């Protein structure tokens, strides 16, 4: 049923109502496997950091890390919230992708990439390491950009506060990106070297803009972030060639069309909306997820220890409560072109981020949503369980996000 709805669409977006729910990962994995095997999708792009996810990409394509197992590679992920990608569910997917790729030629291997904007220092360090070996001349520009950020000691908030006094590292980053783009053709020792070098430079530049806007009172940082994710998706599609197909994993707040939520009133957009506007609704399928109750992995504040938390029964009148009252069964809802009259009204729709406090969730963890327009399909899990993290004590991470 769901595969029929997807049909010949080239871009399938798979959401989640939290970043710590086992069933969301396993359902997205099952759908992704079928899209890859039966419909020839070229890569999975996720709401994750490029440097970390690029390690996964190289692993599943057998470009490196030959001596490591998937679990060992994921144990190197240190940025909070590590449970998003360093978990048993992703390890299993990695093993499947690696095995699947062994049957394919080099140019046909399925990839795995990060779309997010947060990895300013990690991306700069990746650029520096690469250029020192392959382009020492340009590494001088990378060193200059890194030195500009040295006073902030890898603290995004310190850099954001410095913007109030007019300090900025934008110019050396822009100069570095321009030089990398000019020299990209010579970064050919590896089939994806130029892609990764350019992407890390773009991340550094856009992350600087993101953190520069962090002290503002509007939601501009959200739009900067989702615009960056859309630009990264397009860069990946261009790299993979005409007719390439992409699977995107991200939170519902990113993949569900923002025009059919209260985000529109705040002047916010997201990657799901941008994809529909740019690619056309016939080629884009947005699939949301939700749960009525269960367990989830999250932290009570930024950088806090992960916890297995109880997800209380959904707010009365929310879509999750409505579906539970109809029948406490898991199900897939497909919205046809005319929409579905049961789901045309604006109702609350639960959204749990990496920071979560179940005791006060009903004050702000619901997004007013017109379900049949926000998504093309919806997967409902009545009672969910927590994802299985590999790290028990992840490092702290200071970067701020909006809802997720």
Q: What is the pLDDT of residue 24?
A: 98
Q: Is 75 left (phi over 0), alpha (psi -120 to 50) or beta?
A: alpha
Q: Are 19 and 353 in contact (CB under 8 A)?
A: yes
Tell me whether strands 346-350 and 284-298 are parallel, antiparallel or unpaired.
unpaired
DSSP state letters, 341-393: GGG-SEEEEE---SB--GGGGGGTSEEEEEHHHH-SEEEEEEEE-B--BS-SS
Average pLDDT over residues 205-226: 82
Q: Are 200 and 50 in contact (CB under 8 A)?
A: yes
Total residues found in the chain within this entry? 404
Q: What is the pLDDT of residue 219?
A: 55
What's the mean pLDDT when you consider all of the chain? 91
Ranking 87-101, 349-363, 369-383 by mean pLDDT, the lowest is 349-363
Residue with tokens 């947005």, as numbered in its chain: 286
SS3 label, residue 86? coil
pLDDT band at 63 (very low <50, low <70, confident <90, very high): confident
Q: What is the pLDDT of residue 396?
A: 40
Dihedral of the alpha carbons of 146, 150, 151, 155, in degrees to the nearest 10: 90
Residue 399 has pLDDT above 50, yes or no: no
Q: What is the pLDDT of residue 213?
A: 83
Q: What is the pLDDT of residue 66?
A: 64
pLDDT band at 252 (very low <50, low <70, confident <90, very high): very high
Residue 77 has pLDDT above 50, yes or no: yes
Percent of the chain at pLDDT above 70? Answer: 94
Distance in angstroms (rounded) separating the CA atoms of residues 161 and 259: 32
How crowded is residue 9: how many other Cβ atoms within 10 Å of its Cβ? 19
Tell me whether strands 377-384 and 284-298 are parallel, antiparallel or unpaired.
parallel
pLDDT band at 216 (very low <50, low <70, confident <90, very high): low
Tens of pLDDT, residue by residue over 302-348, are: 889 999 999 999 999 999 999 999 999 999 999 975 656 679 999 99
Distance in angstroms (rounded) separating the CA atoms of residues 270 and 118: 16
Q: What is the pLDDT of residue 397?
A: 36
Q: pTM to 2 decimals? A: 0.93
User: Structural domains in the chain?
Assistant: 2-114+245-384 (3.40.1660.10), 122-228 (no CATH)
Going by C-alpha positions, the residue among 203, 154, 205 that lies closest to residue 48 is: 203
Can you give the C-alpha Rg of the chain in angstroms? 21
pLDDT band at 188 (very low <50, low <70, confident <90, very high): confident
Tens of pLDDT, residue by residue over 275-313, are: 999 999 999 999 999 999 999 999 999 889 999 999 999
Average pLDDT over residues 130-134: 93
Q: Which residues pair with 369 in a beta bridge?
A: 261, 347
Residue 73 has pLDDT above 60, yes or no: yes
Residue 158 has pLDDT above 90, yes or no: no
Q: What is the largest CA-CA distance in the chain?
A: 65
């Amino acid at each position: 049923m769901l595969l029929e709805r997807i049909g010949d669409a080239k871009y399938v977006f798979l959401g989640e109502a939290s970043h710590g729910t086992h069933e969301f990962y396993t359902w997205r994995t099952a759908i992704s496997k079928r899209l890859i095997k039966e419909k020839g999708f070229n890569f999975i792009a996720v709401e994750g950091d490029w440097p970390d996810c690029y390690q996964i990409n190289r692993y599943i394509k057998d470009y490196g890390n030959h001596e490591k197992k998937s679990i060992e590679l994921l144990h190197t992920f240190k940025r909070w919230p590590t449970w998003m990608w360093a978990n048993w569910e992703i390890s299993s997917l990695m093993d499947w992708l690696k095995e699947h790729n062994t049957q394919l030629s080099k140019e046909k291997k399925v990839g795995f990439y990060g779309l997010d904007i947060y990895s300013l220092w990690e991306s700069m360090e990746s650029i520096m390491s690469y250029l020192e070996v392959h382009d020492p001349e340009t590494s001088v520009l990378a060193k200059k950009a890194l030195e500009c950020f040295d006073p902030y000691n890898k603290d995004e908030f310190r850099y954001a506060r410095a913007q109030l006094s007019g300090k900025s590292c934008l110019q050396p980053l822009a100069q570095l990106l321009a030089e990398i783009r000019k020299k990209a053709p010579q970064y050919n020792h590896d089939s994806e070297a130029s892609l990764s070098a350019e992407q890390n430079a773009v991340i550094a530049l856009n992350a600087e803009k993101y953190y520069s806007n962090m002290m503002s009172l509007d939601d501009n940082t959200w739009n900067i972030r989702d615009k960056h994710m859309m630009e990264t998706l397009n860069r990946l599609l261009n790299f993979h060639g005409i007719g390439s197909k992409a699977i995107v994993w991200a939170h519902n707040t990113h993949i569900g069309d923002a025009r059919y939520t209260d985000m529109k009133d705040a002047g916010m957009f997201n990657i799901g909306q941008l994809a529909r506007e740019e690619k056309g609704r016939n080629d884009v399928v947005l699939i949301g997820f939700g749960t009525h109750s269960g367990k989830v992995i999250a932290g009570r504040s930024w950088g806090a220890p992960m916890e297995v938390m109880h997800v209380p029964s959904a707010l009365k009148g929310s879509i999750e409560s409505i579906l539970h009252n109809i029948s406490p069964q898991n199900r897939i809802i497909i919205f046809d072109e005319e929409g579905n009259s049961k789901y045309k009204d604006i109702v609350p729709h639960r959204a749990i981020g990496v920071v979560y406090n179940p005791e006060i969730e009903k004050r702000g963890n619901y997004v007013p949503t017109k379900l049949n327009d926000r998504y093309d399909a919806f997967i409902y899990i009545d009672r969910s369980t927590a994802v299985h993290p590999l790290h028990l004590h992840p490092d702290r991470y200071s970067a701020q996000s909006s809802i997720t």
